Amino acid sequence: MKIIILGGLGFIGRNLAETLCENNDVIVLDKNNDDSIKSSKCRYFNCDISDTKSLQHLLDGVDVLYHLISTTNPTTSAQNITYDIDTNVLGTVNLLQAAVNQGAKKIIFASSGGTVYGEPLYNPIDEKHPTNPVSSYGAGKLAVEKYIQVFHKTHGLDYCILRFSNVYGRYQTSNTQGIINIFLRRILNHEPIEIWGDGTATRDYIYVSDAVEALSKVAMKSHTNKLFNVGSNEGITVNEIIKTIEDITGIYANTIYKEKRSIDVHSNVLDCSLISEVYKFNPKVTLHQGIERILET
């Protein structure tokens, strides 16, 4: 199977590429050109999602195209909304057009279950929940979802959209996204932790190997359901994350509580029963196990 991973040197993409390259022809496209983090079993091309001319010849005969790229996060998207739209929404539309032109068979998009729904009407949140994002990031993710669905209707491009909860784990090095990895690094370095709100905000967190399993499963076959939540099915507060890290490391966290931000909903826990039913996917790694795995790497 010929597979392209857009953003294959990013956090999730790097984990996915290492898994899929064992039995597939995997091409990784990424703006990052760091040879030290590349696998010898994949092919790599330095490429931007907006550079459709360079992308076109690579898309020939592609069975599965993974779209894992985002140029912004929930915080930075609001700082330059025009850039967010140009690079993520318009960039994806150009990508979809190139994919259709070159005969790509299927696109799998990593969306955001933590932001597209907005303030929940109920928890856990299933795929039928209204989508009312409160951030530019969530609005952009939702717009990309809709354009993928349009290209399916108008051009027959097969697709699957995975609305992930908060993915964490190996290779996550960002200092602005991924609170488990950020908190763990800060606690180990005896640095203060800033918390927006009182620490009772609840999310579900999924370890990256479980996220990769979900991404792999939906590539193997198509289904009438093409949109799935992917999470751990367990709500955990920020304070509980800190307590778990303290218990594992034996280091007390220096926490600083700040006023809650308008872009943050208080509770977001995904109902993932649909992907469990359709693809027999069930996450395996607990929060405690996940943190221990990070410390081992």
Enzyme catalytic residues:
137
How many other C-beta atoms lie within 10 A of the C-beta of residue 44? 18
CB 104 within 8 A of CB 157: yes
- Length of the chain measured in residues: 297
Structure tokens at 263: 């872009």
CB 228 within 8 A of CB 218: yes
CB 236 within 8 A of CB 287: yes
Query: Please, what is the Cα angle at 74 between 173 and 261, to 5 degrees?
Result: 110
Alpha helices for 38-90 (secondary structure H): 52-56, 81-84
CA distances from 247 to 55, 61, 240, 243, 285 (A): 47, 50, 10, 6, 18
Alpha carbon dihedral 132, 136, 141, 147, in 10-degree steps, equals: 90
Cα–Cα distance measured from residue 48 to residue 163, given in angstroms and rounded to the nearest whole number: 23
Structure tokens at 20: 């899929």
